Structure formats: structure tokens, C-alpha cells
């Protein structure tokens, strides 16, 4: 084997090494790009899952608050009806008392002027 043949083999080996290195770099870029895409997809899926869970929780809380609101409104209406019933029972008596006091005041005023 001569010098020329050895140099040719070295050149071939360097070319193959360069080609192997370029292939490895391309493969590395491809793997990194795939990993980035996967990371973005996972991040988006996590955000979607979180959003869905948040919406679900909010819907449940709204439903519970709506039921509580209706319960409080019903309770308030019942109390208002009871108070109104008591008031309507007492209104005639209150009117009579006011009328009597007014008449007494008028009688006293009329008697003082005589």
C-alpha cells in the first residue's frame, strides 16, 4: 500500500466521518424539533384540561349558589308573608287607636277653648 492509497483511504474515512457527523446533527435537530412539538402539545393539553376542570367546578358552584339563592328567596317570602299577616291583623286595631287619640286630642283642644 502506497502513500497515495493511504491518503485516499484517509480522505474516504474523513468524508464518511463528516457524513456521519452531518447525519447525527440532522437526527439531533429532528429529535429536538419533535420534543419541542410534543412539549407544546402537552402544554396545550394541560391548559385545556385545566380550563375544562375550572369550567366544571364553576358550573357546580353556580348550580349550588343558585339552589341556595332560591332557598333563601323562598324563606324570605315566607317570612314576609308572616309579617304581612301579623300586620294585617293589627292594622284595624292600630287605626282605631290612632283615631281615638286624635279624637281625644280634638276633644281636649275643644274643651280648653270653651
Task: Give the pLDDT confidence of 101-110 residue by residue, as tens digits.
Answer: 988 888 777 7
Q: Computed over its alpha carbons, how large is the radius of gyration of the chain? A: 47
Asked whether residue 114 is assigned to any structural domain, the reply reads no
2 phi, psi to nearest 5 deg: -100, 180
The pLDDT of residue 112 is 55
Asked whether residue 105 is assigned to any structural domain, the reply reads no
Cα 28 vs. chain centroid, distance in angstroms?
42
Q: What is the pLDDT of residues 23-50, one digit of tens each?
A: 999 999 999 999 999 999 999 999 999 9
Query: For the whole prediction, is pTM greater than 0.75?
Result: no
Domain, as residue range, for 36: 1-84
d(CA 2, CA 76): 109
Q: What is the pLDDT of residues 53-103, one digit of tens each?
A: 999 999 999 999 999 999 999 999 999 999 998 888 888 888 899 999 988
d(CA 46, CA 38): 12
Asked whether residue 69 is assigned to any structural domain, the reply reads yes
How many domains is the chain partitioned into structurally? Answer: 1
Amino acid at each position: 500500500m502506497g502513500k497515495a492509497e493511504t491518503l485516499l483511504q484517509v480522505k474516504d474515512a474523513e468524508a464518511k466521518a463528516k457524513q456521519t457527523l452531518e447525519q447525527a446533527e440532522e437526527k439531533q435537530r429532528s429529535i429536538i424539533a419533535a420534543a419541542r412539538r410534543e412539549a407544546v402539545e402537552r402544554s396545550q393539553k394541560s391548559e385545556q384540561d385545566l380550563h375544562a376542570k375550572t369550567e366544571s367546578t364553576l358550573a357546580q358552584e353556580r348550580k349550588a349558589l343558585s339552589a341556595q339563592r332560591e332557598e333563601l328567596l323562598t324563606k324570605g317570602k315566607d317570612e314576609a308573608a308572616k309579617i304581612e299577616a301579623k300586620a294585617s291583623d293589627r292594622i284595624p286595631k292600630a287605626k282605631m287607636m290612632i283615631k281615638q287619640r286624635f279624637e281625644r286630642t280634638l276633644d281636649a283642644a275643644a274643651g280648653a277653648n270653651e
